[in-house]
Structures are given as C-alpha cells and as structure tokens.
Amino acid sequence: MSDYQTHEHDVLVIGAGGAGLRAAIEAAKDGQSVGLVCKSLLGKAHTVMAEGGMAAAMANVDDRDGWETHFADTMRGGQYVNNWRMAELHAQEAPARVRELEAWGAVFDRTKDGRILQRNFGGHRYPRLAHVGDRTGLEMIRTLQDHGIPQGIDVYMEHTVVDLLKDGDRVSGAFGYDREKGRFRVFKAKAIVLATGGIGRAYKVTSNSWEYTGDGHALAYDAGAELTDMAYVQFHPTGMVWPPSVAGILVTEGVRGEGGILKNNEGRRFMFDDVPDLYKHQTASDPEEGWRYVTGDKSACRPPELLTRDHVARCIVREVKEGRGSPHGGVFLDIAWIREKLSDSEAHIKKKLPSMYHQFKELAGIDITKEPMEVGPTVHYVMGGIFVDGDSQMSTVPGLFAAGECAAGLHGANRLGGNSLSDLVVFGKRAGEYAAKYARENGDVRVDEAEVEAAAAAALAPFDRDGESPYAVQGDLKEMMQELVGIVRRQDELEQAVERLQELKVRAAKTKCDVNREYNPGWHTALDLKNLLVVSEAIARSAEVRKESRGGHFRDDYPAKDEKFGKVRHVITKGADGSMQLEERALPAIPEPLKKIIEENQKA
C-alpha cells in the first residue's frame, strides 16, 4: 500500500495560467468546492509571457469592428479548419471577458477618451488588441489570481499530476505528487478541467517554459479522450538565436511592424524574393513603399516582412539552409536602419519597443538602435490538442473538460496573435461553468484503489531503474523533433521520426534518477518524458498523414493546400493495446449564416 493523502473537490482544475484561473473562478462562483493544481508557484504560469494583447472586437478604436469581422479573421487565419462554433463564441464573448477583467482590477492602456485602448496586429482587420504595454499576460494572470484567491479556491502549488483516475467512463480524480517533498496526492473530483498549456518542450528551440511538456494532452489521451489537429504547431518566425541561453525567446512582431527588415548575410532583403501570388497585390513593390506603409500611409501596401508567420518562418529557414544565414544560424532583423529615415531613430525605437531594447541589451549585449538582431524561427504554440465540445469544452470523456492551449479547435491550422489571451478567458469561463454544472448534476464518484496503486508504482519506478539520465533522453528527443518534425516536413523524415520515437520510448522507460523525492528535478524530468513522447508521436503521426501544407503544417513534398484535406481532421486516440491510433474524420459544415459572414468579409 502506498502512502498518500486524499483531497476532495467538486471541480478540480489542473493548470493555473489564464484558462485554469478563469475556470476555477467560474466554478467557485457556482458554489462548488474547487481545487486548483499547478506545477509552479501561483502566478508564474506561461501566460505571463504574453506580450501583445488580447483580441476582442470592442470597437473602441475603430467603430467598424464587430464580432462578425473578428470571427471571419479568425477563420481565415486558421485556414477554415477551425471549430466554427468556438470561433463564433470566442468572437462574441471576448469583449465581455475583457471588460470583466477591468472590473476585477486590470489596468489596460487607455484611449484619449478614457476607454480601453486597442492596437493593430497581424491578421486582425481593425485595431483589436486590448493591452498593457508589452506585458498584457502578466496583467491578466495577476488580475485573475488576485480576484480568484479571495473566492475560496484551494490552491495546490508546485504539485504535478501524473495520472487521471476513472470511475467507469467518467473521470473520478487525479493522482500526483507535491514537488517539495515528493509525497503522493489523490485529488478526488466529480469534474476535472485541464488547462495545462502547450508542448513546446518537445522541441529544442522554443519560446515555452519547462512546464510545457504536454501534460494535459497526455493525461487526456491516457484517460481515453481524443486529441485532434496535432500536426498544427506554430513556429514564430522571429525568436532570438544568440546567445544560446536565450535561443527561442520571442522577438515581437512589433519590430517588423515598426519598420524592421530581414536581411541575409549578403545584405539582401530576401523577403522581396518570394511573395506568394495570393498576396502579391497586397505587398509593397519596393522598400520605399514598405516604409510608407509602416509609417501610416494608407495607400501603401505592407512590406513582405509582414506576410503570414508561417511564410516568413519558412523563408528564414531557406536562407539559413542555403548558406546565407547569420553567424549563429539565423538571419538579421534590422530596425537600426531607420536612422536613414528618422533623425531621432534611437529615441523612437526605445519608445516603441522598450522591452525588445532591454531584452537584447541585457541578454545579448546588443543595442538594437545601432546593430541588427539575429533571429530565427521558434516553436511557439500548438493549435492542436484535446478535442472538445465548442459550447461546454467537455472532451470525449464524461466529466473531463479542457480549455486554453491544451484544447483544440479555435485556431484551426494557424493562430492569430492576440487570440490566445482571449481564448483563455472565454473558454476558461465556459469550462468552469460547465464543469460546475456537470459536478452538480452527476453523483459522487469512487476512486479505484488499484488504479492509485498502479499510478504510484509507475511514479516510483525511475528510482529503481538502472538506465541513463532522463536529461539525455529529453535532449535527444528535442533534437530529433527539431530536425525531423520541424518547420519544414517530409515523408521520409516523418517516418524516421516515428521510428526514432519507438527507440526513445524504450530508453525513456529505463531512465533512472537520484534516489531522493524532495524537489528532485531529475525525477520530475523522468516522469515528464512520458507526456513529451505522447505529444511528439501525435504530432509526427498527424503530420505524416496530412499530405498537404496548411497553416503551421508545411510539407516540402506537398507544398500546396489540398482541398480534400481542408475537409478533414485527424484524431488521435489510445488503442486497447496501448498503441496510438489515428483516424480521419470529416469536419462539420459551417452553417449558412456564418458562411455568409465569411464571404462578406472576404469581399470587403
């Protein structure tokens, strides 16, 4: 018999970023007893990293905006494979969620007449992002935390969940450990909300923190839920590439929006060399016109640096592959050049891009007002995830809900900047509301002792094994994913990746760690590997069958979009024998009224 403590709640929320906190608040408001489990300290979740803002059609800056346009923009950005119901609800409800944050104490930047200011961003037709300088995510998480804690939510900080428990078909709780002492915990719950974020740690170069090991994806998968759209991983074109310590950290799109240009080591502005036909009429024909655009000339077209994220990222990869990269394997992003145009360029850059100025100054020793930056693509976001019902956010397992990055659907094949923060609060609220309702309407659950025992034994296994270090396996996995399932994909490489994953699974099952349960990152890494391997395999397999290029998924051997694949999604489930199953399903048709909205916006 293992030793463990049991905590009982009506609703258990796993993950305390924007989505988890918002879900917990909503469930607590319903009068349910709520437990909130998070791997880090409260308030440190990855949401703090979000810079740009949260998209909501409040029409404070441009009164032509409305939910219909936001909906159409989101669908276009997602290449029309989004869950249309989620895109609709998101566009309709985001403004109320922003106003609610203000009522809870958030202090957004203001318009001249004292309302919430909104800024422009890629793919959004009108200025739509409510923001606080370039630290909007911090504002959101702190507001939710400070509003939520007094509601009587029980927070289990620095606790990791390693398994979900079930009572028949329903979820009945979660099994995990506290990081401090390594003591086991059982959280018994009538409903569970997964809000665990993304999968970036499966890759070598990522803007994501250590927490992003695909926990929610893997927990849901093991519990029998469906994952969907896992091929769609967003590579942000501009991450830092040097120094190594900061490789992957985001360089905001705002640099290019302010006139930053991309150059290769020959000094050539290579983005002009490859403009997709579809965008030719909307793209500047020469550098002069590009400059006029970024300085507000409405008759000019945007410079090619502001083409979609997926395209810019691929052009950078091409330059590097063909030997025209910067010394540390990226390309040059130059904002300093605007001194040719502006006499006060230094002050201008510092005022418009304060955090980028400091980030490069402090971490790379580079003054961006004087020298170019080195940048390259970085794994940023996963559009795929746990398949949920658009209204309730319930997965295919009764009582198991998901919200935020770990849930799939809203963003389709490619996410627009600014749509993730609004996603967190719109669907965090919905998940909390429906989880509370589920807990209210369904009876008590039983926790199966045998299931707990098995989970405990598995969690302790790394102490008794005699294999290699979990850090070594994690390192090899990241290298492999970066190389074979990266930004440009090919049939033979994807097949090779699936094979290599089988070898890595064998190695991971043998990893050992120091015998010490107290705050032992070696042990934690050994346990996280299981989740990373599940999501890596799901991505590789989904990418392998999607023989087309769409949004975040680009195939060198199938570089065009294929209409046939635009009508399907790929579903990943765990088979009875424990092996990963993949199935193709038809996407539901978009209802006529919404189709009309899309068409009208395409015309305009």
Active site residues: 236, 256
Confirm or reject binding of residue 265 to another protein (CB under 8 A). no
Contact 24/195 with Cβ under 8 angstroms?
no
Q: Which of 109, 222, 346, 448 binds another protein (CB under 8 A)?
A: 109
Q: Which of 29, 85, 125, 135 binds another protein (CB under 8 A)?
A: 135
Name residues whose C-beta falls within 8 Å of residue 127's C-beta, 6 or more positions apart in sequence.
61, 62, 65, 118, 119, 120
Q: Residues 452 to 481: which contact another protein by CB under 8 A?
A: 469-471, 475
Confirm or reject binding of residue 509 to another protein (CB under 8 A). no
Confirm or reject binding of residue 510 to another protein (CB under 8 A). no
Q: How many CB atoms lie within 10 A of CB 244?
A: 9
Name residues whose C-beta falls within 8 Å of residue 349's C-beta, 6 or more positions apart in sequence.
258, 335, 336, 338, 357, 368, 369
Q: Which is nearer to another protein, 454 or 472 (CB)?
A: 472
Tell me how many residues contact another protein (CB under 8 A).
59
Name residues whose C-beta falls within 8 Å of residue 408's C-beta, 6 or more positions apart in sequence.
83, 227, 228, 229, 383, 384, 385, 386, 387, 388
How far apart CA 211 and CA 208 sit, in angstroms, is 8
Q: Which is nearer to another protein, 39 or 76 (CB)?
A: 39
Stretch that binds another protein, among 35-43, 414-422, 527-535, 582-590 (CB under 8 A): 35-43
Given strand 129-130, what is the order of strands in its sheet? 54-55, 129-130, 118-119
How far apart CA 215 and CA 426 sit, in angstroms, is 22
Q: Residues 217 to 256: which contact another protein by CB under 8 A?
A: 242-246, 249
Confirm or reject binding of residue 65 to another protein (CB under 8 A). no
Q: Which of 63, 113, 340, 441 binds another protein (CB under 8 A)?
A: 113
Q: Which is nearer to another protein, 66 or 521 (CB)?
A: 521
Q: Which is nearer to another protein, 209 or 283 (CB)?
A: 209
DSSP tally for the chain: helices H, then strands E:
17, 18
Choose among 95, 104, 100: nearest CA to 151. Answer: 104
Q: Which is nearer to another protein, 73 or 374 (CB)?
A: 374
Which helix H or strand E contains 318, and what residues bound it? Answer: helix 309-321
Contact 582/542 with Cβ under 8 angstroms?
yes
Q: Which of 133, 168, 327, 329 binds another protein (CB under 8 A)?
A: 133
Q: Residues 343 to 402: which contact another protein by CB under 8 A?
A: 359, 362-365
How far apart CA 20 and CA 407 sit, in angstroms, is 12
Confirm or reject binding of residue 42 to another protein (CB under 8 A). yes
Q: Which of 88, 93, 139, 451 binds another protein (CB under 8 A)?
A: 139
Stretch that binds another protein, among 135-143, 168-176, 441-449, 581-589 (CB under 8 A): 135-143
Q: Residue numbers of the site for another protein (CB under 8 A)?
A: 40-46, 48-49, 99, 102-105, 107, 109-110, 113-115, 132-133, 135, 138-139, 142, 146-147, 149-150, 157, 180, 209-211, 242-246, 249, 359, 362-365, 469-471, 475, 513-514, 516, 518-523
